Structure 1
């Protein structure tokens, strides 16, 4: 791939920009992005357009804003948090956010989901602990070398992911299995917003901002203006891809989901893909899910390596985070998918509202003029989130 010396202009060459954008999209597109929009489509029925709009506004909109704020300030989520409530708060908040978005939740969730929703469909006799060894060995192979992560994801795995997404999309658009439920949901827009909230892609973007900026620095982008342009373009491409995929999935859920009115959220996607593609549908869904999960786990763990190295001022090396991250993810994954979701969701409810407040205030050009309001807003968000956290 091109080295730093190859970069001569404000815009990095389009091949590298495509690789980085594909890698980041694949890191965002996880199991939630595969099942929530389709479930939303069935839920909203004839009003699926409003549902898709609400979903895209939160899922794609917050992703773009997350990258915009990080590169606009030229700071990571850790530094953005520090600007509001000080260094101690930044350490606690960023550590919780990064651990939940990587080794304590996302890694074990996607690994367990790959087993229960894909691998076990074909090899139910293989125990979970054996599968997880294989999964995290592959995950480690992708992330162990920081300079190669983006190339592995963006050049090889992400195109395969996009290919299988397109196969499902084409089948769903050409031959829908049913018609949207009439009348559509009267709360379709709100339904879309709430479903998108569950993906946590906005928070992931704020954390991945450092990951992307480090990658562009490695490839020769040094000046702030150059960095801003390239990250904004990357964030825009990723947001558009997420909006496109979620909108088509909502449509497929609306036009094919009515055939499976009793299917649970995860089963619905499997049933629709099987109905659209026949006997091969199960295998195609399994491959699609596995690719979505491994790219997400690799992306968030590699991000964690950059974040913890920055927070520790280089004391916690990237390679060690890759080792202990995979080990911890393996042992938590042994608890199974539902157990992982049950213990992690309350923590997500605790940290996400404060993040949205932080992003909103950091969009203000003269931050110092609104710093007190930002402090009050973040504290208030955390205060009310604690109630949800305790009740979850």
Structure 2
């Protein structure tokens, strides 16, 4: 008889899933989005939740449905070479290129900048990122139970702080949401703009990389049947998805209402620090700084360790685990010194390319579970998603590059795609290709 999850085990899996989705660093995005979305915050919020909460959950479900051992095996349904390249790009993105240095810059923006005074911010950032990455590297090289113990208290502590912050804002709002004017693309396309803003969490990429941990844990608890695994993931995931959606909604609203008293910030880290200072004064700002810094440090240790493990496995004759740890920490230190705002800007083109591929991989996995094992269900939509997403990535390049003659010439061909002007040119071609692949499988079967 197939074993099912007990309530205690379901709670354990749920807390694990919540820990994988919830990160202090990610909260800078909904708060800044709220400032920009203004009275359209509900539409923007739902778009953000779709890519920031639902899609990571679907990524976990895709791994569970297919029984894949990880992202490389899942992507191998397209082609082995694609799988290796996609996996490397994914780990570089959630590791040393963007997410890892972002943990340091978010901590700096929230935990240090409000207390800098006349100190040179460039020098302060360099010193802080060096110390931050050195500590993270030390723990990654020699894991300690201390960081595990601290981690058990971080999420509850930060959730408590957030609840107090939101409660203070509800009792004494800075402004009326209905009176805040939407800015930029949020004035006309709030949902799609929020959808793209959700890319910045990188949680779909992270879940593809780490969801196998959740599935393996379920297997170790005796739940091995794919249908049972998928059903239990849904049961556990629904609670986590609701909780995460509530958190993001509260933070988005907090950002929107803050525009009644505060100016638009350059990034969400600044906004979150200003809001905490407004309601709780310097002591509240200091408490938030400590909690966020420790939470980001815990994330940084995990990212260094996971990425180094993967690269040591991919390239066994190269640096080894410890060598990759050092290399990634050094790269993250260098990247981190460009600052939080610039990291976010530089990450956008990469995410505009990788996210459509990741979403397509997830959709194809569901199609495979429903319609058969043919690799056409992966290959056809992935080819068109890749071609179209390349155009979306080019259009998201920093202005100097995006306006170069070569890029403008290439983008001229992409303008025929529906939704391309909104940065969603991949959607229609991908869904058409997936539909054609499904029809093909129905007509000629799984072969080829």
TM-score in terms of structure 1 length: 0.82
* 1:40–1:191 Cα contact (<8 Å) kept: no
> Taking structure 1 as reference, are residues 374 and 102 closer, same or farther at Cα in structure 2, changes over 3 Å only?
same
- Matched ranges for 1:164-313 at <5 A: 164-182=161-179, 185=187, 187-214=189-216, 220-221=221-222, 223-225=224-226, 228=230, 231-232=233-234, 235-266=237-268, 267-305=270-308, 307-308=310-311, 311=314
d(CA) in 1 for partners of 2:13 and 2:316?
25
Relative to structure 1, is the Cα distance of residues 334 and 278 closer, same or farther in structure 2, using a 3 angstrom cutoff? closer
The structure showing larger relative contact order (alpha-carbon pairs under 8 Å, at least 6 residues apart) is 1
Mean CA deviation greater in 319-328 or 94-103: 319-328
**Distance of aligned partners of 1:256 and 1:334 in 2 relative to their CA distance in 1, 3 Å threshold:** closer
| 1:378 and 2:382 are equivalent in the alignment | yes
* Larger of the two Rg values belongs to structure: 2
Alignment counterpart, residue 387 of structure 1, candidates 376, 391, 396: 391
Q: Find the aligned partners of 1:342 and 1:291 in 2 and give their Cα distance.
A: 25
Do 2:51 and 2:199's aligned partners in 1 also have CA atoms closer than 8 Å? Answer: yes
Q: 2:156 aligns with which of 153, 156, 159?
A: 159
Give me the CA root mean square deviation: 3.5
Deviates more, 1:29-38 or 1:144-153: 144-153
Could you say which residue in structure 1 is the equivalent of 2:27? 34
User: CA contact under 8 A between 1:56 and 1:243: conserved in structure 2?
Assistant: yes
1:180 deviates by: 1.1
Q: What's 1:4 paired with? A: none
Counterpart Cα distance in 2 of 1:142 and 1:64: 29
- Helix, strand or coil at the partner of 1:301: helix
> What is the CA-CA distance between 1:60 and the residue it aligns to?
0.9
Q: Name which of 95, 98, 110 aligns with 1:105.
A: 98
Matches within 5 A, 1:114-133: 114-123=107-116, 124=119, 127-133=124-130
Please, which moves more after superposition, 323-332 or 55-64? 323-332
TM-fit CA distance, 1:320: 5.3
Does the CA-based 8 Å contact 1:67-1:209 persist in structure 2?
yes
Bigger shift: residues 66-75 or 32-41: 32-41
Q: Which moved more, 1:229-238 or 1:95-104?
A: 229-238
Per-residue displacement from partner, 1:351-379 (whole Å, max 9, x unpaired)? 11111111111012156455324312111
Task: Name 1:350's counterpart in structure 2.
Answer: 353
Equivalences, count: 382
More deviation in 178-187 or 65-74? 178-187
CA contact (8 A) 2:169 2:254 kept: yes
Change (3 A) 1:298 1:100: same
> Which residue is 1:11 aligned to?
5
Paired residue for 1:79? Answer: 73
- The Cα shift of 1:323 comes to 4.3
Tell me if the contact between 1:103 and 1:328 (Cα under 8 Å) persists in the aligned partners: yes
Cα deviation digits, residues 259-318 of structure 1 (max 9, x gap): 224433333332222222233343244234324422432343344345446656899865
With over 3 angstroms needed to count, the CA separation of the structure-2 counterparts of 1:141 and 1:29, relative to structure 1, is farther
Structure 2 alignment gaps of length 5 or more: 398-448
Contact 2:25 2:292 in 1 (8 A): no
Do the aligned partners of 2:52 and 2:203 also contact (CA within 8 Å) in 1?
yes
When residues 151 and 289 of structure 1 are mapped into structure 2, their CA distance, relative to the original with a 3 A threshold, is closer
2:425 aligned residue? none
Is the contact made by 2:35 and 2:264 (CA closer than 8 Å) also made in structure 1?
A: no
User: 2:105 & 2:87 partners in 1: Cα distance?
Assistant: 25
Once the two structures are TM-superposed, the CA of residue 91 in structure 1 deviates from its matched residue by 0.6
Cα-to-partner distance string for 1:195-249 (whole Å, 9 max, x where unaligned)? 22332222221112123345556x6557345755665555444433321110111
Whole-Å separation in 2 of the counterparts to 1:319 and 1:12: 39
Which SS does the other structure have where 1:177 is aligned? coil
Q: Return the alpha-carbon distance in structure 1 between the equivalents of residues 314 and 357 of structure 2.
A: 20
